[in-house]
Structure 1
Amino acid sequence: MGPVTVYDVARALPGIGELRDHCRGLAMLDAVLSPEWEDRYYSFDAHGEEGEQMASMRNGMGDEYAIVFSDAGAYARGFDHESPMSPWARTDTPAPWPGVLDSVPEVFRPYVTEPAFCAEDGTPTVTCCLWREAADTAWRTGTVDFPARDGDDPDGAAYVFELLVDRSAQAYAEWASDYHETDVDIDAVRHVLALRPLTAAVVAALNPEAELADLAEDMAEIGYPTLTR
């Protein structure tokens, strides 16, 4: 088996709608397990400008991703700060690794230079990128000549998109149990990833110190389904 790269991630991701729903589930799980915003890895904003929605991951150590969902499709960028493909890894003049952004379709080009996705000097904060237009039948990437890297993940894609490639409840429960240093209830994880309305019992199973009533604002931001009356 060769290096695991954004090419492999592109083959493993589901359709746009399924990915968006999974990202909403991840964000809701993190909201329950990490009531303090700054402690969260995964977030989701269902109410961006012009109907855009955005899923994001930040691990607090400089690694991140952002996925913008719009009428045009979905655009995903990832950044592994230790990757040899970092814009700051090679020369005194930072620039994205050749091929990573060169083929991004015109409809998604504004995201390449979006200030939130760039350093203060305007350099895109990216080591891997993929996209899928609304009519596409697969995720697309640029044509990239990857460098060698110990661990066979040269662009960081397998690392930053790990829980989007393996979308099982078990994968999240194992990750969260390690991060929070406590067992995480897999049935409750399964409930949330399926986007079933939250109940007090599910919240308590995930985090005994969390209250369902306190999650209303998070549910609204994520666009997580609630019980209808």
Structure 2
Amino acid sequence: LYIADVFIKSEKEFFDSFETWILKIAEDGEHVRTPIHYIIREFFRVRKQYLTYVNQFVEEYEQDITQEELDDWNELIVRVFDITVYKFVEEHHQHSKRLLEAHKELINELSSPVIPLSDHIAILPLVGDIDTARARRILENTLTRCAEQQVNHLYIDISGVVIVDTMVAHQIFQLIDALKLIGVESTISGVRPEIAITASHLGLSFENISTKSTLANAMASRMRK
């Protein structure tokens, strides 16, 4: 229905309305979930249908249509579909990028959740690798969540952290220092033997930081107080 308008509308008028349609279908859920090469293949199939219909029309009214007119129509159809494919792919890509960024933000938020345990007490379970970018997000997210939840003691459990190197330790120290500035005490739990050995070899000192081997030990220690 949209393509047929190219024969009766001015080029500007046609593409003004056509781009709105392209944007709509590029963001459509079913199209987003469909592999892009399937969609392009379908565009080409429909383009062939249009060219076939034009040829059938010319055969029926060949005495009234010149070869030059036929060539112009065919060129117009090819050009419109070329533009359609290009703009669809461009919009599809931009929409996918926006979705990806939104998913990344969600994953980043979930990768450093501050979970309330009781009044003013929470836990931050860290899992997996921690690089510089993730460490920065953990710092920002943790400070914000602790302030929002009015946390005064945070357990930072690192039992799920794969590797504790100088950079990771530095980021943890930074987090603890920043938490102190907003009035939050911290206890690190999940310090496994291999982590302790690595820290020792790297010359890392947890001397001025409250540490416990497990989260259970950390919580039990606080309850005894």
Same fold flag (TM > 0.5)? no
Bucket of the pairwise TM-score, normalised by the shorter protein? under 0.3
TM-score normalised by the chain length of structure 1 = 0.22
The structure whose Rg is larger is 2
TM-score normalised by the chain length of structure 2 = 0.23
Q: Which has the higher contact order (CA 8 A, sep 6+)?
A: 1
Decide which structure has greater helix share.
2
